[in-house]
Amino acid sequence: MITRSLGAAGPRVSAIGLGCMGMSDLYGPSDEAESIATVHAALDAGVTLLDTGDFYGMGHNEMLLRQALSGRPRDKVLISVKFAAQRAPDGSFVGIDARPVAVKNFLAYTLRRLGTDYVDVYRPARVDPAVPIEDTVGAIAEMVKAGYVRHIGLSEAGAETVRRAHAVHPIVDLQIEYSLFSRGIEADILPTCRELGVGITAYGVLSRGLLSGHWTKERTSGPRDFRSRSPRFSGDNLDRNLALVDALRAVAESKGATVAQIAIAWVLSRGADIIPLIGARRRERLSEALGALPLSLSADDLARIERAVPADAVAGDRYDAHQMALLDSEKRRGVAG
């Protein structure tokens, strides 16, 4: 397995991480036994970075990981956990809480659910607009000092917030959407992270399946599936986005690769400080994703990819208007408040 450094001063991790969200939540029904088999297959293939959130299935994802990791050496895997999203019993998202007291409370429950003494990377899923980032990071830093957390990360934070947080305690990585369809970080956030030595764990690299080559116009998503509310998956936007995928398919075929592999290889090609988190929840998908690692893209390949999917060609925002407004990372671009 190829490894990369998680941030300039952070640990080395597999060049692709496994995102576990879809095993418990947000993408419709999933199969628990297959999810566990997928985690095992990832570990056996040398994947060392697993990403979860305490709110993915309201604790289900952490308990699933505990089961999957049982009997495996704890120090051979890095567990990245997001907290702060609040949910109601019906699964709806009802707020963000990243107050210092909440940090400690969330972490206590996470440690118990995961059955571990420490979390490798702990991060607020969203910046809490009511709490200075210095206070949230300061509280996690106390947990680092106490031995419950190894590294601090951020998620969907803008450049200025990353800078402020990093001044309180080194930030190892920023988790943020980055793909051929979502290139917003290139202007400001990525250069700031590079200046500070903060790594990027990129999510949505397959644009939640839209950019995988497996999505079709006929595929429907249930009401609990994030994609049923995503602007990029609806109406004319979907037609336009699938046309981009078709253009990319032609490039993939000429390389003897799949669309998903080209989309992942493109993100990998953007810099050694970027680690794609891939949301595979079946072994077959995982194996396809890992097939991106040996692909090398020449300057000519990259130019053809950019012609197939120009930087601003995607139709639709990456979240609905309500969720866009919660993204600190989008504020400076004038998309949200």
Ligand X SMILES: NC(=O)c1ccc[n+]([C@@H]2O[C@H](COP(=O)([O-])OP(=O)(O)OC[C@H]3O[C@@H](n4cnc5c(N)ncnc54)[C@H](OP(=O)(O)O)[C@@H]3O)[C@@H](O)[C@H]2O)c1
Q: Which residues of the shown chain bind ligand X in the complex (CB under 6 A)?
A: 19-22, 27, 51, 82, 125, 155-156, 175, 203-209, 212, 214, 260, 277-282, 285, 288-289
Pairing relation of β-strands 149-155 and 119-124? parallel
- Minimal distance, residue 299 CB to ligand X, in Å: 25
CA dihedral 274, 279, 281, 285 (to 10 degrees): -70
Q: Pick the closer one to ligand X by CB: 18 or 143.
A: 18
Q: Which is nearer to ligand X, 111 or 260 (CB)?
A: 260
Q: What distances in angstroms separate CA 226 from CA 14, 89, 97, 218, one per listed residue?
A: 28, 17, 22, 17
Closest-CA residue to 127 (of 65, 189, 187): 189
CB of 30 to ligand X, least distance (A): 7
Query: Is 122 known to be catalytic?
Result: no
Q: Which is nearer to ligand X, 54 or 156 (CB)?
A: 156
Least gap, CB of 261 to ligand X (angstroms): 8
Annotated catalytic residue: which of 56, 122, 178, 203?
56
Gap between the Cα atoms of 46 and 77, Å rounded: 9
Query: Which is closer to ligand X, CB of 123 or CB of 304?
Result: 123
Angle between helices 283-290 and 259-268 (to 10 degrees): 50
In the complex, least distance from residue 101 CB atom to ligand X, rounded to whole angstroms:
23
Would you state the torsion angle of the CA atoms of residues 30, 125, 285, 50, taken in this order, to the nearest 10 degrees? -100
Cβ 189 to ligand X shortest distance, Å: 13
Q: Find, among 86, 130, 84, the residue nearest to 107 by Cα.
A: 84
Helix (H, G, I), strand (E, B) or coil at 96: strand
What's the distance, Cα to Cα, between the start and end of the chain in Å?
Answer: 42
Q: Cα separation of 147 and 217, whole Å?
A: 49
- The residue among 333, 332, 327, 334 whose CA lies nearest residue 129 is 327
Q: Which are the catalytic amino acids?
A: 56
